[in-house]
Structure 1
């Protein structure tokens, strides 16, 4: 449709040098297979939503507009965390926002962990998790066609081996009690059903396990989590599919939400064919860069939609810096390579809002797109600040829109996407180096460039020179 398109990167020996070396970069639309139709960008709501959903209306509305508003990042996807919930008498030990409540109600006087009777309406409490649920309504009201996914980090405490939602005593041990797959799946499906009705939304997918085949989750940890061996993952996938169908829901199972492509392939290889057939969406996180094309090939061969369902990529060791470019560049380069290697239908951020981390003389880190005081009381000032990484994300999400198709580009620093009508081509180029790059674009297209660097925040600029240490989005129209 658009033929063969080439443009050149003229790389100068310095930003003002007269001699240049041209590097030809070619866009080659794939003709042997359809290119990936992109569905959009978004974030997981836990844990920041559990905190910020209880803030004054002006603050929480500002955050919702920053991420899902028409003048914000233009996100269309949200992952809602169905909390497991510790026992009410468990001393608080989870991080701010990490104690996501469950929807169960323990009868007064009940002891032990065998009291749960899900068929008894008195054992459900639908007033729980009001703060995170505020975000469901906020996103529904801002996005024309939002895509919601429900995901779980841990079963409720009374279904676990350790009695805690943060994991077993050892991080390599499964924490769901044997034989509890069906009750846990029924719990998740009931929550999906109820919240859909109460918030007038649709959960397209349910992810019952999260980063399962890792040693991250142990009882003394500060967040909900649970280890799942591949065999137990398969059993949980089977049970979740059955529970959703028993309730007559259109929601399908997403799995395995593994932490990286390497472990994803290990999990997938161990699933029986019947379990694989019950998965409606493949989810993988990108906390690791090896074997990503292997996951792409699994999705392609299986005919199952693939999401990059969680990542945040600040530069390791980079001290907290609101306007610094080191972490935004690392993040943008990571996104480019994820899109090129995984070819996912969506790219979903982890926590859009993170706590201020430079404290007590420690340098902190650059997780999150917006910084805020998550530990402050709901009515206190929360010092909400937009970081440069937010603008790095804007370079992608404002221009590579739902319905665009990812197209191959023969340049490691550039990702391309084509509008449905074929008349708009978007390229996001990351220049992490110390010399400017002059982009020589083809004739017949009008071009505008948007730039984020040390002095621009997703701002339109003239010309096609990408400065050192910057992220440029080129919008070509014909």
Structure 2
């Protein structure tokens, strides 16, 4: 155990101390080291347990090879499919919260090219998840007769809500990075006739031999969106979490299983289609759900398929073998993104001020930055739906909560959660162009500015003892904190309280700090 680690769980500590605190009827809670423990009762409030301050010495290795960071962002599916149709004031407020200079300062957006279900199918996808496709089936034309080279078989009026976000990001972020991604082929290219997956979870759902047709659909969509919105998609990801058992016909979101062999065929076809459109967009793949499956997919690709990939994408819903993904990307000489994650704490019910979920999220980001060393870190769905009307709270997914099922005209209450502020501890200070650097502490991630004059350290203290953060000599320091009473606020001193996220902005050589 190092001085920076505190492995005892709160539950275990409570159990260890139970014989020291009498429990009787009538009181509502007891306090342990300043933390309220709901459900326990005491005859009188005891004094907090005296815990010494732990010193954590942060030792960044700023001279080792490191990753140039490109930024933070989100997938626009599915919240953009809803919120892009809200009144201008509401949707612009959301865009400012994420992409504005005074918001999170994100610089990356992943646009979802919808597959699109059959027009006569009964709606079955979850709120916001029915992203329209750009195809059209004119009267008398069956899905089997759809052709990508026929202008009459396209409808570019579709998906106006999500497309509003393309303009909003473009206008707020000079040099924004856009990626297009797909969750499923259009319904008429699938085996099941549904964009949610095949009847069996591990069956491929794209009809055999339809890779070129689906690839043409994606590439033409990329080309037309670029032209209409005056943006550039740097990458196209044609498959999503492919080698999993998540996707099946009765599911409530778009998805498709792809065996590694079909993945390779689709990557080859998509790259060929992009080149046929004369686009500079390159392939990102495989967008696998975790590092273990990512490595299995990659190992099965022929060398010629790997050569077509311009960016490796991995999700971090599992944390095993992440350094293996890092090493595979380095060995292949291909840029690596962590392209999807959200980490609410299991069992932590919806609570806009929840620190447990904020801490779990921040801890996960630190671990991803340390193990994967990605060039970007992308959130899943930045706005999540509020709990249902049955009075039972759901979960703390998302950074902002809103009623996505409410009429578009509103009004729309926008609830900024504590997880949003935990995200701010990273994205406001680790900026595009910074280099991720190693730091000798399990709970800290670090990045160095391009000129070497600013060093940013983000430290997560999920324990019950305060920590004194010792930093390298020769730097001026400012601290920013998110905890139960601070929302990414500047604070004095170098103490990281229990249950907090602290960002240290270290500057030297007369550089100005970024904490205001």
TM-score (norm 1): 0.95
Match of 2:192 in 1: 162
What is the aligned counterpart of 2:69 among 38, 45, 48?
38
1:405/1:418 contact within 8 Å kept = yes
Tell me whether 1:67 sits opposite 2:98 in the alignment.
Answer: yes
Alpha-carbon offset, residue 20 of structure 1: 4.7
1:131-186, Cα deviation, whole Å (9 max, x unpaired):
00000000000001100000000000110000110100111100000000000001
**Alpha-carbon distance in structure 2 between the residues aligned to 1:38 and 1:22:** 29
Deviation at 1:14, TM superposition (A): 6.4
CA distance in structure 1 between the partners assigned to 2:54 and 2:105 by the alignment: 37
After TM superposition, the structure 1 stretch with the greater mean CA deviation from structure 2, 366-375 or 21-30, is: 21-30
Q: Find the aligned partners of 2:189 and 2:5 in 1 and give their Cα distance.
A: 60
State how 1:43-442 maps to structure 2 within 5 Å. 43-111=74-142, 113-357=143-387, 359-442=389-472
Contact 2:311-2:335 at 8 Å conserved across structures: yes
Residue by residue, what CA displacement relative to the aligned partner does 1:253-281 show, whole Å, maximum 9, x if unpaired?
A: 00000000000001001000110010000
What is the aligned counterpart of 1:29 among 45, 62, 71?
Answer: 62
Residues 1:265 and 1:30: Cα distance change in structure 2 (over 3 Å): farther
* 1:23-46 superposed Cα distances (whole Å, 9 cap, x missing partner): 433222353xx3100000000001
Q: Is the contact between residue 4 and residue 443 of structure 2 (CA under 8 Å) also seen in structure 1?
A: no
Instruction: Give the match for residue 3 of structure 1.
Output: none
Contact 1:14 1:436 in 2 (8 A): no
Q: Residue 408 of structure 1 aligns to a residue in which SS?
A: strand
Once the two structures are TM-superposed, the CA of residue 110 in structure 1 deviates from its matched residue by 2.8
Contact kept? 2:55, 2:469, Cα under 8 Å: no
| Alpha-carbon spacing, 1:301–1:28, altered in 2? closer, same or farther (3 Å) | same
Query: Residue in 1 aligned with 2:507?
Result: 477
Q: Which stretches in structure 1 are left out of the alignment for 5+ residues?
A: 1-7
- For residues 435 and 179 of structure 2, the distance between their equivalents in structure 1, rounded to whole angstroms, comes to 22
Alpha-carbon shift at residue 109 of structure 1 (Å): 2.8
SS in 2 for 1:456: coil
Cα 1:127–1:219 shift into 2, 3 Å:
same
Distance across 2 between alignment mates of 1:81 and 1:102? 10
CA distance in 2, matches of 1:30, 1:296: 19
Normalised by the length of structure 2, the TM-score is 0.88
Shift of 1:363: 2.9
The secondary structure found in structure 2 opposite 1:354 is: strand
Contact 2:52–2:465 (8 Å) recurs in 1: no
- What value does the CA root-mean-square deviation take over the aligned residues? 1.6
Specify the structure having the higher radius of gyration (Cα): 2
Give the direction of change, closer, same or farther, for the CA distance of 1:192–1:19 in structure 2 (3 Å limit).
closer
Instruction: Report the Cα distance in structure 1 between the residues aligned to 2:91 and 2:194, rounded to whole angstroms.
Output: 30
Instruction: Indicate if the aligned counterparts of 1:10 and 1:438 stay in contact, CA closer than 8 A.
Output: no
